[in-house]
Amino acid sequence: MRRVLVTGITGQDGGYLVEQLLAEGCEVHGFVHDKDATVPDFAAAYPSVVLHPGDLADSAGLAALVQEVEPDELYNFAGISSVAFSWEHPVLTAELSGVAVAVLLQAALELQERTGRPVRCVQASSAEMFGEAEVVPQDERTAIRPVSPYGAAKAYAHHMAGVYRGRGLHVASCILFNHESPRRPTTFVTRKITAAAARIGVEGSGVIRLGNLDAKRDWGWAPDYVAAMVLAARHTRPDDFVVASGTAHTVAQFAEAALRRAGVGDTWHEHVEVDPAFLRPQDAPLMVGDASKAHRELGWAPTVSFDELVGRMVDADLALVRAEA
């Protein structure tokens, strides 16, 4: 039976990955932060997953866990997941999204050398590493030039994936563009919009206060992106893969689509306001990915369009608002 260790297992991608791995019959282990308040709910939802509490900042503990679990596959989803948060905590971001990856990869290499069994690793890298890219769309060869503490930490981790690949470890680095679902927290703009739009749709009033309405992002359906990471783990050759939908929309277009789906109609713009508190010190104006390598080599393709993604998220939030009422 394939044994898999997942860090960041209680997050959006962790949950979807667990569902895929359990359906395949894998033995799943999860590293969880000992202060993560969502762990009891996660444990109740997935009772067969073996959870290991700890702290990503505890390098010795993290390395010991890899040796103890002896995974065949290791997915690293842990770390700071919000660009906005990284501006407030740049050093912590470097430790958890950067240095911890070096610890995991070194531990995986030592495990592989000790047991003689390959350890297939996947690093969840981020398009945020490209910063204000001069090339559109971005692919695996686009210059890495981050403009946020989050992007810089992810860039270090991405480079370390390449370094350990050179040492004989099967490390895939999946450069994920924004990927969303009803499980996104409202700290992300998509879910912030769909949660608010659903409330406005049901209550008939309210405004969504947003930052940069003109930022253009390539938003995809999170379970599709998780499937790409599993394909990358099991591919014959470890490599870098951009995972993206290939289409970009502005934050304003997302808000319009969500409000229309919630039933607001042509007056949607009356429910959107710009609040400078949500503007960022630096924000890439346009991010859009070219996933042709993943299409070609992994046989991967996204299954959910932008409209369908917005529709699914708004419908899930409408159900929540109606259940409350």
Could you give the residue numbers annotated as active site? 126, 128, 150
- Is residue 192 close enough to count as binding ligand GDP by CB under 6 A? yes
**Rounded-to-integer distance, Cα 159 and Cα 124, Å:** 12
Stretch that binds ligand GDP, among 221-229, 234-242, 278-286, 297-305 (CB under 6 A): 278-286
In the beta sheet, which residues pair with residue 221?
180
Smallest gap from Cβ 237 to ligand GDP, in A, equals 29
- Is residue 215 close enough to count as binding ligand GDP by CB under 6 A? yes
**Rounded-to-integer distance, Cα 70 and Cα 115, Å:** 9
Contact residue for ligand GDP among 138, 178, 181, 194 (CB under 6 A): 178
Smallest gap from Cβ 27 to ligand GDP, in A, equals 31
> 39: number of CA atoms within 13 Å, CB side?
15
Smallest gap from Cβ 68 to ligand GDP, in A, equals 32
Q: Which residue is nearest to ligand GDP (CB)?
A: 215
- E-strand ranges in the chain read 3-7, 27-33, 50-54, 73-76, 120-126, 170-176, 179-180, 208-210, 216-217, 220-221, 240-243, 249-250, 272-274
**Phi-psi domain of 204 (left: phi exceeds 0; alpha: psi -120 through 50; beta: other):** left
- Is residue 28 close enough to count as binding ligand GDP by CB under 6 A? no
- Is residue 251 close enough to count as binding ligand GDP by CB under 6 A? yes
Stretch that binds ligand GDP, among 7-15, 53-61, 90-98, 208-216 (CB under 6 A): 208-216
Determine contact, residues 317/194, Cβ cutoff 8 Å.
yes
Q: H helices within 46-124, ranges in order? A: 59-69, 83-88, 90-94, 100-115
- Is residue 258 close enough to count as binding ligand GDP by CB under 6 A? no
Smallest gap from Cβ 324 to ligand GDP, in A, equals 22
- Total site size for ligand GDP, rule CB under 6 A: 17
**Rounded-to-integer distance, Cα 17 and Cα 9, Å:** 8
- Is residue 87 close enough to count as binding ligand GDP by CB under 6 A? no
- Is residue 309 close enough to count as binding ligand GDP by CB under 6 A? no
- Is residue 257 close enough to count as binding ligand GDP by CB under 6 A? no
Q: Parallel, antiparallel, or unpaired for β 170-176 and 120-126?
A: parallel
Contact residue for ligand GDP among 65, 189, 226, 272 (CB under 6 A): 189
Which residue number, 217 or 235, has a Cβ lying nearer to ligand GDP?
217
Smallest gap from Cβ 168 to ligand GDP, in A, equals 32
- Is residue 154 close enough to count as binding ligand GDP by CB under 6 A? no
**Rounded-to-integer distance, Cα 155 and Cα 98, Å:** 8
Q: Which residues of 88-115 are buried (b: 16+ CB within 10 A; e: fewer)?
A: eeeebbbbbbbbbbbbbbbbbbebbeee
Q: How far apart are the first and last CA of the chain?
A: 46
Which residue number, 53 or 185, has a Cβ lying nearer to ligand GDP?
185
Please report, as ranges, the residues that interact with ligand GDP according to CB under 6 A.
83-84, 178, 187-190, 192, 210-212, 215, 217, 251, 278, 280, 283
